[in-house]
Amino acid sequence: MTAPVLQVEKLIKHFPVVRGVLRHTVGQIKAVDGVSFDLRAGETLCLVGESGCGKSTVGRTLVKLMQPTAGRIVLAGVDVTHLDDTAMRPHRRRIQMVFQDPYASLNPRLTAGEIVGEPLENYEALAGAAKDEKVAALLEKVGLRAEAMVKYPFEFSGGQRQRLGLARALALRPAVIVADEPVSALDVSVQAQVINLMMDLQEEFNLAYLFISHDLGVVEHIGHRIAVMYLGRIVELADKEALFAKPLHPYAEALIAAAPIADPRARRDQLVIEGDVPSPMNPPSGCHFHTRCPYAVARCRVEDPPLREVAPERWVSCHLREPAAPAAAI
Ligand code: SF4
């Protein structure tokens, strides 16, 4: 097995809550609360969960749009956790981000050529015909015509703008792309085209994707492994097939049960989770999911279950899924 291109260890991102004219810190929003995973070249790890579970904050922290509160980020063997903007610069080309809203993430005053060419200018000092040639090749790689170079973002459709975002992300040949809900703002028919393009690009460039999504239909199509997040933590991490066939964490079970299925004759057992997600400022004691979990027992209210490997490559944080104890020697 190849070495991971990205290693994330006990990542924490808390946001202080300040009040009053003296701006006293009165609490912390625990947006990301100890997230660990590896990402290998050529694989897609999907981060899924309800809105506000911390998945986008994980992505933004990994590309250093915000500094982590604690934990470790190792990118292609280099610990980049505490690097500031200047020190991060040579490593930034290895990890790029594609955003949910392609229109908001593209500078409306720049042409497509300038948008895709900007990283080439800044990181590779390319200019003139050499830059234009590379930009044209990148645009064609994502299914846009080279002549589109002179157009502005408003002249493209939503799907084309997301292709433009992909071309820009690809310009520096990154090892990792963090894609934050990259198709959720697009029509369903266009979603499939962009997802298929991402899969083709992954195969061609051996890209690793951290694919953040709330849409299990999309995740089932593109993902290799899936990490289910709840209140800033991963509660289950497994191969896609294993997770969809038999989710082991009650929250993962409920998410999958609620996902729409293409074949109406196929039935999934329904597990309905009631209530709202608790505040990440004041998460419940013990297992953070116990206030909504239909299987909760007394122990769940006081004891926090660690994320444990309950089977090869299968990690679950639930007291009901403790790995079997090794058989005693005779
Ligand atoms: Fe539910 Fe308890 Fe498992 Fe938490 S530890 S998911 S409350 S059964």
Confirm whether pTM is higher than 0.85. yes
Q: Which protein residue has the closest C-alpha to ligand 1 atom 5?
A: 318
pLDDT of res. 257: 87
pLDDT digits (tens, 9 = 90+) for 186-235: 988 899 999 999 999 999 999 999 999 999 999 999 999 999 999 999 99
pLDDT of res. 328: 58
Instruction: For 14-55, give the DSSP string.
Output: EEEEEETTTTEEEEEEEEEEEEEEEEETT-EEEEE-STTSSH
Q: List CB contacts of 307: < 8 A, sequence separation 6 or more.
A: 36, 233, 234, 235, 237, 315, 316, 317
Closest to 139 measured CA to CA, from 130, 128, 129, 147: 147
Classified as helix, coil or strand, 4 is strand
* Ligand 1 geometric centre to CA of 269 (Å): 19
Q: Over its length of 330 residues, how does the chain's per-residue pLDDT go in tens digits?
A: 577 999 999 999 999 998 888 888 889 999 999 999 999 999 999 999 988 899 999 999 999 999 999 999 999 999 999 999 899 999 999 999 999 887 788 999 999 999 999 999 999 998 999 999 999 999 999 999 999 999 999 999 999 999 999 999 999 999 999 999 999 989 888 999 999 999 999 999 999 999 999 999 999 999 999 999 999 999 999 999 999 999 999 999 999 988 776 665 555 566 777 778 888 999 999 999 999 999 999 999 999 999 999 999 999 999 999 876 666 555
For ligand 1, is residue 234 a contact (CB within 6 Å)?
no
Determine whether 223 is exposed, middle or buried from the number of CB atoms within 10 Å of its CB (0-12, 13-18, 19+): buried
pLDDT digits (tens, 9 = 90+) for 272-291: 777 788 889 999 999 999 99
Let me know: does 218 contact 191? Beta carbons within 8 Å.
yes
| Cα distance between residue 74 and residue 323, in whole Å | 29
For ligand 1, is residue 320 a contact (CB within 6 Å)?
yes
Q: List CB contacts of 276: < 8 A, sequence separation 6 or more.
A: none
- Strand ranges (E), 231-320: 233-239, 308-311, 314-316
For ligand 1, is residue 232 a contact (CB within 6 Å)?
no
Instruction: Give the number of residues written for the chain.
Output: 330
Q: Tell which one of 273, 293, 310 to mutate to probe ligand 1, the residue whose CB is within 8 A of the most ligand atoms.
A: 293
Q: Tell which one of 234, 273, 289 to mutate to probe ligand 1, the residue whose CB is within 8 A of the most ligand atoms.
A: 289
For ligand 1, is residue 289 a contact (CB within 6 Å)?
yes
pLDDT of res. 130: 94
| Cα distance between residue 19 and residue 31, in whole Å | 19
Ordered by start, the domain boundaries in the chain are: 6-19+26-94+206-321
Classify strands 78-79 and 314-316 as parallel, antiparallel or unpaired. unpaired
pLDDT of res. 105: 84
| Cα distance between residue 330 and residue 326, in whole Å | 12
For ligand 1, is residue 293 a contact (CB within 6 Å)?
yes
* Ligand 1 geometric centre to CA of 46 (Å): 23
pLDDT of res. 104: 82
For ligand 1, is residue 54 a contact (CB within 6 Å)?
no
pLDDT of res. 259: 77
pLDDT of res. 264: 58
Closest to 173 measured CA to CA, from 208, 130, 149, 197: 208
Determine whether 150 is exposed, middle or buried from the number of CB atoms within 10 Å of its CB (0-12, 13-18, 19+): exposed
pLDDT of res. 272: 72
The b/e string for 308-324 (b: 16+ C-beta within 10 A; e otherwise) is eebeeebbbbbbebeee
pLDDT of res. 159: 94
Topology of the domain covering 6-19+26-94+206-321: Rossmann fold (3.40.50)
| Cα distance between residue 31 and residue 22, in whole Å | 24
| Cα distance between residue 327 and residue 146, in whole Å | 64
